[in-house]
Structure formats: C-alpha cells, structure tokens
Amino acid sequence: MSSRRNFLQQTALGLAGSVTIPLLGKSAIRQSAEKWVPDHETPLKVGVAGYTFAKFDLDTSIAMMKRLGIHNLSVKEIHLPLNSSQETINAALAKFAAADINVYTVGVIYMKTREAVDQAFAYARKVGVNMIVGAPSYDVLDYAEEKVKEYDMKLAIHNHGPEDKLYPGPKDVYDRIKNKDARMGLCIDIGHATRAGVAVDKAVKEYKDRLFELHIKDVSKAEKDGKAIEIGRGVINFPALVASLKKIRYTGVCSIEYEKDMSDPMPGIAESLGFFKGVMAGEG
C-alpha cells in the first residue's frame, strides 16, 4: 500500500502540475483534465463545495472553477444568499451556465428552527435543485422530514467532526434518519469523519443506502486536532475509498472542499484534484 500510495502521489503531483501551468497563461484546463480521466471512463463525478471559495466573490469563484476545469458545484449562501430574490438567483444561475457549471445542490445550510427549514427548502426550489446539504437540529428533524415529502426533495445531512454536538460522524446522522423517509440521507465529509475516528472507505459501504453526497478532503491526522491538507498528503486511504465507491456504484458527486490556504487556494485545489482523479483512473 505504501509504494502504491507513493506512486499515486507522485503521479498526482505531475497531474496537478499540468493543471497549474495555465494559471500563467491562457486556460487549457478542461482539455488537460479530459486527457487524464475522460468522463465516459469513470462512473464517479467530481465537483466542488462552494465553501472552498469562501473568501472570493461569485465572479472570481466562477473564474477559478473554469481554470480548474470543475463543472459541478454545491453552491453556498456566501455566493448566493438564502434570502435572494428569484431574479438574483436567476442572474447567478445564468453566470454559472455560461461557464458550463452545473449547480446540483445547495449547502451546507444550518437549520435550528422551523423557519430556517422553511427558508432552506424554498431557497432550494428557487435555485432549481433536488437536494439540500444541511445540518438540522434534532428538534426540527421531524419537521424537515415533512418538507422532504412536501417538496419531494432530498436532504443530505452533513457531519462536522468531533467538535459537532449533533453529527460528529456518519453514524450519528444515520442513526437519526434510518427510519425516516428514504429521501433523508447523508453527506459524508470524509475529513471530519476521519477526525472522528471513522474509516471512510468502510462507512460509504455501511451507509450506502442513504449516501447522497460526499465532501472530499484530506487531514493530517485521524484525530480531533487533524488539520486540512492537500488531498494525498494526509492520512485518508483514497484508493480504498474510491474502490468502495465504485463497488457500491455511487452515483452522487464527490465534491472537493479545500480548506487549507483559503486565501490562495488554486495550487492546493489543483494538486488535490489531480491526485483524486489519478486515484480514480487507477482503481478499476
């Protein structure tokens, strides 16, 4: 495994280098990305969680996604506020569409009250998505289930690691929703889950019937104080994770959420994207 991991990391660094070259000149990212992993050769879809670009405005975030060749986005209210009018939402969606970016979900949206649940579902409908990545408090879970049924919309509940009093790991989500409507499921944040002591390659298989979304990142240690790091440089076993995802025929998006060097994220995202796509290409 060690030699395999080292080989993949070296390969990914080379791929990431090919991604970062256009930052110095005109962009050719998409063509380069398609050379390493054509969409028709892998069942796994890659995207980005909008929080990755938390320190940038909408237009700058779109420009970075274009340069990175990223075409699937979980939009965050930082870039499209929850109280936006339909006109504002439509204008933002038009910008994404012009950049060939598919907004496939919204979130993470925190829901502590019924009013917050109402706002989240109304917002998701206006954006035109069929899933919310959220973190509802326990006392509004039943009400959220009512809205899932009313809107015929999925709710993927996000775990936030050992500090999270509600959902530290995937099991904490699953135990709360396993007997609820089948449209209530999990968004497994693999970095936070790892810090909570979870083997994520096993978790995706264990909770496959309710796994709707993944936030992909790496961490320096499988402990509470583990820090976000470029994918492939940390402790997560990505070959095992990808093998598990392919085994369960995961159809959701693997959304990279980069949280290191957030004021200058492009090199780290490029390296992370290269590594992850390299692993996908190597795991049959």
Q: Which two tokens stand for residue 238?
A: 């990505």
Pairing of strands 131-136, 102-111: parallel
pLDDT interval class at 3 (50, 70, 90): very low
- Predicted pLDDT of residue 282: 86
Q: 102: which strand partners?
A: 72
Q: Is the pLDDT of residue 172 over 90?
A: yes
Is 7:251 a contact under the CB 8 Å cutoff? no
Q: pLDDT of 25-79, one tens digit each?
A: 333 333 333 333 444 444 699 999 999 999 999 999 999 999 999 999 999 999 9
Total length of the chain: 284
Is 196:156 a contact under the CB 8 Å cutoff? no
Name 38's Cβ contacts closer than 8 Å, sequence gap at least 6. none
Q: pLDDT of 109-140, one tens digit each?
A: 999 999 999 999 999 999 999 999 999 999 99
Give CA–CA dist 274/280, Å, rounded: 10
Is 219:235 a contact under the CB 8 Å cutoff? yes
Q: Structural domain boundaries of the chain?
A: 2-282
Prior bond of 46 cis (ω within 30°): no
For 28, other C-beta atoms within 10 Å of its C-beta total 14
Q: 111: which strand partners?
A: 136
Q: Is the pLDDT of residue 255 over 60?
A: yes
Smallest Cα–Cα separation from 64: which of 29, 94, 98?
29
Q: Is the pLDDT of residue 7 over 70?
A: no
- Predicted pLDDT of residue 284: 54
- Work out the end-to-end distance of the chain between its first and last CA atoms, rounded to an integer number of angstroms: 16
Is 155:191 a contact under the CB 8 Å cutoff? no
- Predicted pLDDT of residue 233: 98
Smallest Cα–Cα separation from 136: which of 180, 173, 190, 189?
173
For the chain, give the percent of residues with pLDDT over 90. Answer: 83
Q: What is the average per-residue pLDDT within 2-14?
A: 46
CATH of domain 2-282: 3.20.20.150
Pairing of strands 211-216, 228-229: unpaired
